[in-house]
């Protein structure tokens, strides 16, 4: 029996500041050190949606992408600036990626409204749910099936005061995907993992837990902020036990404020010139 590892990364927000870049570099080094079989990144690769920020992502993760070990979907922040949704996802809203022992269904949950900072919520129509369901059906027997998307499919606490205020005013900006429950029902018995980000605090949930094949839903949180990522071991199309956390750096809540204004040399980053 071949046991493989799948690592869930999300919400890197490259371009936010130099500390974030340093944390992403350290993370990639940790992923290489554990020889991860595959890494998924569920959106908000960039902070301002700039092409230069996406180029930085590809540069940092080049040792893994060169070996075909990274799969990405876009997040709302990637739709800002240069509108990178197509550059990240390509090929439409639902794309299947098949790898040894793994069937990944990539869903682009962003929409044109994400061009505005405040309107960060996702969109998933009935047609999207049907397309995701059809893509899941293409899985080979014995493959682990994971749906990858950026936005949360079930209600989660807001990350900050502006989102709480938006919700209080009745605006949809912090809401979960409208048909998230429908998607969960459509995936029952046919999908092992739903992996997403968007909310920067990690969450986990098990659905249809008495089924032979429950659906496990994980929010990675912001991997660069947390300094840790989940590692799933899987074999024969099943997740082997609960995921383990791989520490890739300090938790940002413990980081001294002075590093936020530090220069490239002080943070050990290469010069950009
Ligand atoms: Fe984010
Ligand atoms: Fe997001």
CATH of the domain at 219: 3.60.21.10
Distance CA 65, CA 80 (A): 24
Query: Measured between alpha carbons, how far apart are the two ends of the chain, in Å?
Result: 49
Per-residue pLDDT tens for 8-19? Answer: 999 999 999 999
Cβ-contact 130, 94 below 8 angstroms? no
Residue 149 lies in a domain: yes
Ligand showing the shortest atom-to-Cα distance for residue 149: 2
DSSP letter at 140? P
Q: How far, in Å, is the centroid of ligand 2 from the Cα of 120?
A: 6
Q: How far, in Å, is the centroid of ligand 1 from the Cα of 11?
A: 4
**Does residue 265 register a pLDDT over 80?**
no
Residue 145 lies in a domain: yes
Q: Which residues in 151-163 are b (16+ Cβ under 10 Å) and which e?
A: bbbbebebbeeeb
**Residues lying with their CB under 5 A of ligand 1, a single-atom ion:** 11, 44
Element (H, E) at 164: helix 161-168
Q: What is the pLDDT of residue 268?
A: 54
Comparing CA positions, the residue from 161, 227, 173 lying closest to residue 22 is 227
The region of weakest confidence among 211-215, 239-243, 261-265 is 261-265
Residue 153 lies in a domain: yes
Q: How far, in Å, is the centroid of ligand 2 from the Cα of 140?
A: 31
Distance CA 231, CA 248 (A): 12
**Does residue 241 register a pLDDT over 80?**
yes
Distance CA 191, CA 96 (A): 13
Residue 253's alpha-carbon distances to 3, 106, 204, 225, in angstroms, are: 34, 31, 21, 8
The total number of residues shown for the chain amounts to 273
Residue 271 lies in a domain: no
Neighbouring residues of 115: CB distance < 8 A, sequence distance ≥ 6: 79, 80, 83
Q: How far, in Å, is the centroid of ligand 2 from the Cα of 27?
A: 19
Residue 209 lies in a domain: yes
Q: How far, in Å, is the centroid of ligand 1 from the Cα of 236?
A: 32
Cβ-contact 268, 250 below 8 angstroms? no
Q: How far, in Å, is the centroid of ligand 1 from the Cα of 160?
A: 12
Residue 173 lies in a domain: yes
Q: How far, in Å, is the centroid of ligand 1 from the Cα of 207?
A: 24
Q: How far, in Å, is the centroid of ligand 1 from the Cα of 58?
A: 18
Q: How far, in Å, is the centroid of ligand 1 from the Cα of 206?
A: 23
Q: What is the pLDDT of residue 252?
A: 87
Q: How far, in Å, is the centroid of ligand 2 from the Cα of 52?
A: 19
Residue 179 lies in a domain: yes
* Average pLDDT score over residue span 94-117: 96
Q: What is the pLDDT of residue 259?
A: 47
Q: What is the pLDDT of residue 267?
A: 52
Q: How far, in Å, is the centroid of ligand 2 from the Cα of 218?
A: 15
Over pLDDT 90: what percentage of the chain?
80
Domain count, the chain: 1
Question: Residue 1's CB: how many other CB atoms inside 10 A?
Answer: 5
Cβ-contact 74, 110 below 8 angstroms? yes
Residue 263 lies in a domain: no
Domain boundaries, position 209: 4-252
Neighbouring residues of 152: CB distance < 8 A, sequence distance ≥ 6: 176, 177, 180, 196, 198, 199, 203, 219
Ligand showing the shortest atom-to-Cα distance for residue 75: 2
Mean pLDDT of all residues in the chain? 91
Ligand showing the shortest atom-to-Cα distance for residue 117: 2
């Amino acid at each position: 029996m071949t046991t493989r590892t799948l690592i869930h990364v999300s919400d890197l927000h490259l371009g936010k500041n130099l500390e974030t870049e340093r944390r992403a570099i350290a993370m990639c080094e940790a992923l290489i050190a554990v020889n991860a079989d595959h890494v998924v990144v569920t959106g908000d690769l960039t902070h301002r949606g700039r092409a230069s920020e996406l180029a930085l992502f590809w540069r940092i993760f080049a040792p893994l992408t060169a070996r075909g070990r990274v799969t990405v979907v876009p997040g709302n922040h990637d739709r800002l600036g240069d509108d990178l949704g197509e550059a990240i996802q390509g090929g439409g809203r639902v794309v299947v990626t098949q790898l040894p022992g793994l069937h990944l269904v990539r869903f682009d949950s962003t929409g044109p409204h994400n061009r505005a900072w405040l309107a960060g919520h996702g969109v998933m129509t009935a047609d999207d749910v049907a397309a995701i369901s059809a893509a899941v059906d293409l899985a080979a027997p014995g493959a682990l099936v994971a749906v990858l998307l950026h936005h949360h499919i079930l209600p989660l606490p807001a990350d900050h005061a502006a989102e709480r205020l938006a919700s209080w005013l009745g605006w949809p900006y912090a809401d979960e995907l409208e048909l998230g429950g429908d998607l969960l029902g459509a995936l029952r018995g046919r999908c092992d993992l739903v992996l997403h980000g968007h909310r920067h605090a990690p969450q986990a949930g098990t659905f249809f837990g008495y089924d032979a094949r429950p659906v496990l839903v994980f929010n990675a949180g912001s991997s660069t902020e947390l300094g840790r990522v989940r590692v799933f071991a899987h074999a024969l199309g099943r997740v082997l036990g609960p995921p383990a956390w791989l520490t890739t750096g300090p938790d940002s809540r413990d980081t001294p404020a002075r590093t936020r204004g530090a220069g490239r040399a002080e943070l050990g980053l290469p010069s950009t010139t």
